Amino acid sequence: MKYVCSLLLFCFLLTGCVAEEIIDEVPILFIVGYDQGENGKVKGTISLQTFDPNQEVETRAFEAEAYTSKGLRNQLSGLPKPISIGKMAVLLFSEDMAEEGIIDILDSFLRDPAAGRLIYVGVVEGSASELIKNEFQYLQGIGPFLQNLIKQSVEYGNMPENNIHLFDYKYYGDGMDPVTPILRMEETEVKIKGLALYDDDKMVGKLNLDEMFIFALINKSFSAGLYELELPDGEYANLQKIKSKVKYKVENGNTDPSLNISVKLNGNIVEYTGEKLTKEKKTEIGQTFEKKVEAQGLDMIAHFQTLGIDPFSIGDHARSQTRNFDFKKWDERYPDLPVTIDVKVNIGESGIID
Amino acid sequence: MKWFKRGASEKPSTLEEMVKDLKQSIDFVSYENKESDQSYRLIYFASLIDPEQLHRDILPVIKECESKSLEDLKGILPIENIEIQSKLSLIQERLLEGHVAIQLSRGQKVLLVNISLRKSRDLSAPEIEFSVMGPKEGLVEDLHTNMNLIRRRIPHPRLRMKEITVGTVSKTKVVVAFIEGVASEQNINTVMQRLEDLDFDIISDSSFIGQMLEDNSFSVFPQMIDTERTDRITGHMNFGAFAILTEGSSNALIGPINFGQLLVSFEDYYLGWNIASFFRIVRMIAILASIIATPLYVAVLTYHYELFPSKLLATLISSRSDIPFSPVIEVFFLEVTIDLLREAGARMPTKVGQTLGIVGGIVIGTAAVEASLTSNILLILVALSALASFTTPVYRMTNTIRFLRYPLIGFAQFLGLIGVALFGLFILTHMIRLTSFGNPYLAPLYPPRIKDWYDSFFRLPYVMQKNRFQFFRGNQSTRFEDKKKKAKHSLDFDEQ
């Protein structure tokens, strides 16, 4: 009885230790955009949503400048406190911000137990602040909209998997570098423009949408959405439900490394502009696709090698396949690494009529 | 109890004094026939005896009897269980049980004939533990009828019924029924000893005994099952439990039990094993949901809004945006309302109760949402959890579940999900420590009795229920003999 009483008492003593965050009283943030401010400050922009009983969503943007990400909170004096980032969905960085390095700001989110691990990190061509402030007519506000946009591009589209956790993993891990999506605000909509390449946390290059698709296929086993393929005779074929199965093979990782990537692709033809889709035509489409993936893949890797970055995690694959792997030597040899890609395309079905 | 003690201290020393004392009650009769050759006296409580039997079987015999001795009369009377008694205390006791005392000559010696009137209501279907399938036979308030009902279901010589009288004033007869060999001797000894040690004045109902016999009377968990179903009583006796029948109570107590048995409806045994298992699992989920639904609402809305999917947030926030209270006040308000309805419904006659349900459920519920006192999501949660709490087949368990929710809401408000987990640990620790007549309460789970699992959270077919529960530690461990399987009779559609 004594124990029960003292335990109960203990619980009551603890009540002050947990901060209440009643759901309808805290401002819930879904999106933050970071731009470069004056004097080395960071300019943060948030979009706050209010929900009224008719289930209509109103959004308002706020912005502030400070030297740190958490410091922005104090500057957002027009906002009720506590600002909660538990539902944070998207972090946007302007291009010039990303080129300078973003890990300082990501670190604040990675440390915070309230923040999720599935936050998307994105780069905006232009100003992140303007993208957030622009009042697009989105049903749930810009934050959840962008979250859905990126999520569905990963699940059903051609974008490789990415989030803050993977960014962190690839940033700290040896022999790999992170990627993030690039967004651009156009007059009436936000568009995904491709993939940003990073050297550590600094953006050093871009892939366009076409390259992003090839990247996703080769990066690791993946199932992509739709792809329009140009054939040598000027016709076009559309491939759907493309599934890739990828194997990296690194030989002699420590002494004289060479890399072979085998990519097995499965896809369905859903549209073809030519007259009749014969068997020969199908093999031709397959071969064209094979050549395209191989050529573009090799180009891409060569490009990465000159930039000295490794978004394909080749170094990590080498480490896993080599005993006593030496990263120092690898880094020296990486730019001259001989790479071959074997692509095999299997065209599954081409519709219910033939 | 002062009046009783004083009365006891002035014990009458002679029969005459006793008669004089008892005559203060209007139903006490001391009739003396002073005709010359046949003088006799009848002493009885008119309210306890059957006058028809007195007139038909006793008076004519006395009148025709030539002899003047009680022994002769004893030989002639066509009634069993007649005794000649001169001990005053015993005579008084018998009179209070409905015997008639016949005195032929002056002196202490009387002939005691049992002609007590037994009135009980007719058998009726169980009202609390209703079932669609299965026998619809419930216990009544009369002990003999109840014993008859049980004996008829188990016509076996080893069905033992031990009687004991408890209650210093009410002198309630209590019968402990069990099957010898199947029930563990240790359990029987424990219950008999506890009944013997029981010291209380009036035992109004079996639940008195239930509360006094429990291992831990501070616990909110029932450690015996109250049941009015005869099939449940005999079924549990066949597992190895004992049943306590109480005079004047239409509920029997079953013990020892474990927690899992509180979630078993006896109808489960009448449905197919697969369907019964499914319903058992549904019931368990319902009970868990019923306990933690509203505490989770409080915890999540107060501390962990991140747990909601983004798409639900808008609905939730907009439904709560007009409500001036914090979630915990909101929840308490609705939970108390539901319990008020339940209490009021239980005290009202059935027809009024129905109206009450409609008024309470629909009018108050809708009005509360429209008046922005609660959110409609909470209304759904509270109604669902109230509904789920009534799926428990044992009534006392329903109350426990309804009760447990309130401290849990408090914990959820103070510490959020950690509080909910903490309270869960309190309850779990308590249940692990709890015993029912010395048997572990969480038995097939902890201590693990994997062989008992065939009839716990699910139920396997009867073929696989060969062994009795280890839980009861009986001597007879199997329920049936293995027989050679008959070769499968081949039907025409089996032919190759």
pTM of the model: 0.83
Chain B residues whose beta carbon lies within 8 Å of the beta carbon of residue A114: 306
Query: Hey, which residues 142-171 in chain A have their CB within 8 Å of chain B?
Result: 144, 147
Structural domain including A313 reads: 220-354
A200 found inside a domain: yes
A131-156 pLDDT, tens digit each? 888 866 666 778 888 998 999 999 88
Same domain, A209 and A230: no
- Residue B62 corresponds to which tokens in the numbers above? 């006395």
pLDDT above 90 for A195? yes
Phi-psi category of A175—alpha, beta or left, where left has phi over 0 and alpha has psi -120 to 50? Answer: left
Using DSSP's 3-state secondary structure scheme, residue B113 falls into strand
**Interface probe, candidates A2, A24, A25, chain B, greatest B C-beta count within 10 A:** A24
Structure-derived torsion over alpha carbons of residues A297, A298, A301, A305, reported in degrees to the nearest 10: -170
Which amino acid, one-letter code, is at B49? I
What is the biggest distance separating any 2 CA atoms in chain B, rounded to whole angstroms?
A: 103
Q: How far apart are CA A191 and CA B350, in angstroms?
A: 65
Task: Enumerate the domain spans of chain B.
Answer: 8-114, 143-257, 269-440
The total domain count for chain A is 2
Residue that terminates a domain, selected from A219, A254, A279: A219
How many of the other CB atoms lie within 10 Å of CB of B276? Answer: 21
| The 3-state secondary structure of chain A, one letter per residue | CHHHHHHHHHHHHHHHHCCCCCCCCCCEEEEEEEEECHHHCEEEEEEEEEECCCCCEEEEEEEEEECCCCHHHHHCCCCCCCCECCCCCEEEEEHHHHHHCCHHHHHHHHHCCCCCCCCEEEEEECCHHHHHHCCCCCCCCHHHHHHHHHHHHHHCCCCCCCCHHHHHHHHHCCCCCCEEEEEEECCCCEEEEEEEEEECCEEEEEEEHHHHHHHHHHHCCEECCEEEEECCCCCEEEEEEEEEEEEEEEECCCCCCEEEEEEEEEEEEEEECCCCCCHHHHHHHHHHHHHHHHHHHHHHHHHHHHHCCCCCCHHHHHHHHCCCCCHHHHHHHHHHCCEEEEEEEEECCCCCCC
The mean predicted confidence, pLDDT, of chain B is 87
Q: How far apart are CA B415 and CA B427, in angstroms?
A: 16
**pLDDT at residue number A98:** 92
Same domain, A286 and A201: no
Q: How far apart are CA B479 and CA B481, in angstroms?
A: 7
Same domain, A255 and A329: yes
A324-344 pLDDT, tens digit each? 898 898 988 999 999 999 999
Closest by Cβ to B305, choosing from A11, A23, A30: A23
Q: How far apart are CA A114 and CA A111, in angstroms?
A: 9
Chain A residues whose beta carbon lies within 8 Å of the beta carbon of residue B219: none
B303 in contact with A, Cβ within 8 Å: yes
pLDDT band of residue B486 (cuts 50, 70, 90) is: low
A9 found inside a domain: no
What is the biggest distance separating any 2 CA atoms in chain A, rounded to whole angstroms?
A: 88
Same domain, A231 and A207: no
Query: Hey, which residues 394-453 in chain B have their CB within 8 Å of chain A?
Result: 411, 414-416, 418-419, 422, 426
Q: How far apart are CA B262 and CA B240, in angstroms?
A: 16
pLDDT above 80 for A201? yes
Q: How far apart are CA B487 and CA B472, in angstroms?
A: 35
B5-37 pLDDT, tens digit each? 554 546 777 888 888 888 898 999 888 887 766
A3 found inside a domain: no
A117 found inside a domain: yes
pLDDT above 60 for B119? yes
B391-447 pLDDT, tens digit each? 888 989 999 999 999 999 999 998 899 999 999 999 999 999 999 999 999 988 888
**∠ at Cα A86 (A85, A87), nearest 5°?**
95
Preceding amide of A53 cis, omega within 30: no
A86 in contact with B, Cβ within 8 Å: yes
Task: For A31, list phi and psi in degrees, rounded to 5.
Answer: -150, 140
Same domain, A208 and A84: yes
Q: How far apart are CA B142 and CA B120, in angstroms?
A: 6
A55 in contact with B, Cβ within 8 Å: yes
Same domain, A258 and A163: no
Same domain, A189 and A314: no
Same domain, A186 and A323: no
pLDDT band of residue A28 (cuts 50, 70, 90) is: confident
Chain B residues whose beta carbon lies within 8 Å of the beta carbon of residue A86: 304-306
Residue for token pair 């990590």: A316
Residue that terminates a domain, selected from A197, A219, A241: A219
**pLDDT at residue number B194:** 94
Neighbouring-strand partners of residue A250: A259
B338-371 pLDDT, tens digit each? 888 888 888 888 778 778 777 777 888 888 888 8
Query: Hey, which residues 319-378 in chain B have their CB within 8 Å of chain A?
Result: 319-323, 326-327
Same domain, A92 and A235: no
Answer positive or negative: Cα dihedral of B250, B254, B260, B265: negative
Closest by Cβ to A18, choosing from B317, B320, B416: B416
Same domain, A290 and A176: no
A37 found inside a domain: yes
DSSP state of B257: -
Residue that terminates a domain, selected from A195, A219, A243: A219
Same domain, A226 and A332: yes
A17 found inside a domain: no
